[in-house]
Structure 1
């Protein structure tokens, strides 16, 4: 079974080291040091990781993340590269389902914050795995959008979602759809076919977590 989560983790760790702690990322307000600290918190601090998704815990999680970010940067990246086996999201059983999206998206958060980037030529199996995730993301993220949306990944599949109304197609490779649906519309290379105003609203919508 391919271990794409591990490959994305290794590639991200290599890139973090190459760029240093103060390089930009797509995540607003975060440099590479901040992103690395987020990943370490998620895997190594279960007492604070809930704050990633639960607003009442967000303040505590941010305090912990800032303390982690103050650590020596090479040590921080080493912890990103080698998560503990006891981690509920990074042990051998959960690693691929829990971390493929996390590390693929954050790898692109760093790659696409620089200049001259191009989409990677990804293996077909990885694109297929990303399409399965994108399908679930689309059903969740777009179910209330006021349009009749068709999300299409040529060669992989398509689905319809939305509350109905104007028809809008969202077309792209699975990797680009994942980025679009996770709230990275401005760097995702997808094609929107349909009324200009509906396309504008979708590009500006708050998607993702």
Structure 2
């Protein structure tokens, strides 16, 4: 596993045990128990992911997740902490690509789900890794809003535009905050969104999660 993906995974596991199974998260309707179960099922039950592509099978995947969530919370967290080597999303070849941002975002889902919090100060290599991944997922997400948008990384890592260079709306923030914003967590991301008021409001309320 890569250093970033493994670090986020272990920090998240520690935090889950610290706050317990019933803490709210940024994932609407999910407690920490639900989130931990999701991460375990994602890595160990690839059959449950069929509902993402085939809506009629969505209920099947949700039943698998709920069954996992009903297990003792410490055991679920232990499974999340130690994924199997054969996992289609956590094997050594794909771990960096699939999990660096995934676990960063879910770590923040717990950190920011309730109470006071501040953004973490990520070191530059970690922030750059998140920015690289956020560019890919962000472009996919922003195509759904049907308006030109410019995304600019505040530390100078770069920018990208979706929908044409005529973009009047600009989202500016540090890599981690942009990753959260572009994953549908706009209300919890500390970014600046500038442009025509109507377009800014529409982007802040848009369903960006892929």
Global fold match (TM > 0.5)? yes
CA contact under 8 A between 2:24 and 2:114: conserved in structure 1? yes
Look up the match of 1:189: 190
Counterpart-to-counterpart distance in 2, 1:17 and 1:51:
29
Are the equivalent residues in 2 in contact too, given 1:147–1:165 (CA < 8 A)?
Answer: no
Q: Distance in 2 between matches of 1:134 and 1:124?
A: 15
Report how far residue 166 of structure 1 moved: 6.0
TM-score, length basis structure 2 = 0.94
- The residue aligned with 1:140 is 140
What is the aligned-residue RMSD (CA, Å)? 1.7
* CA distance 1:146–1:89, change in 2 (3 Å): closer
- Residues 11-53 of structure 1: CA distance to partner in whole angstroms, max 9, x if unpaired? 0000000001111101111100000110111011122133345
Query: Which residue does 1:95 correspond to in 2?
Result: 95
Q: CA deviation at 1:56?
A: 2.6
For 1:1-209, what aligned pairs fall within 5 Å after superposition? 3-154=3-154, 155-162=156-163, 167-209=168-210
- TM-score, with length taken from structure 1: 0.94
Q: C-alpha distance in 1, partners of 2:174/2:144?
A: 23
**Hey, which bits of structure 1, 4+ residues long, moved more than 4 A?**
163-166
Q: Which runs of 5+ in 1 are unaligned?
A: none
SS at match of 2:161: strand
Q: Matched residue pairs, number?
A: 209
Q: Distance in 2 between matches of 1:181 and 1:125?
A: 20
Give 1:4 shift. Answer: 0.3
Q: Deviations over 1:155-197 (max 9, x none)?
A: 1001111267661111000111110000000001110111111
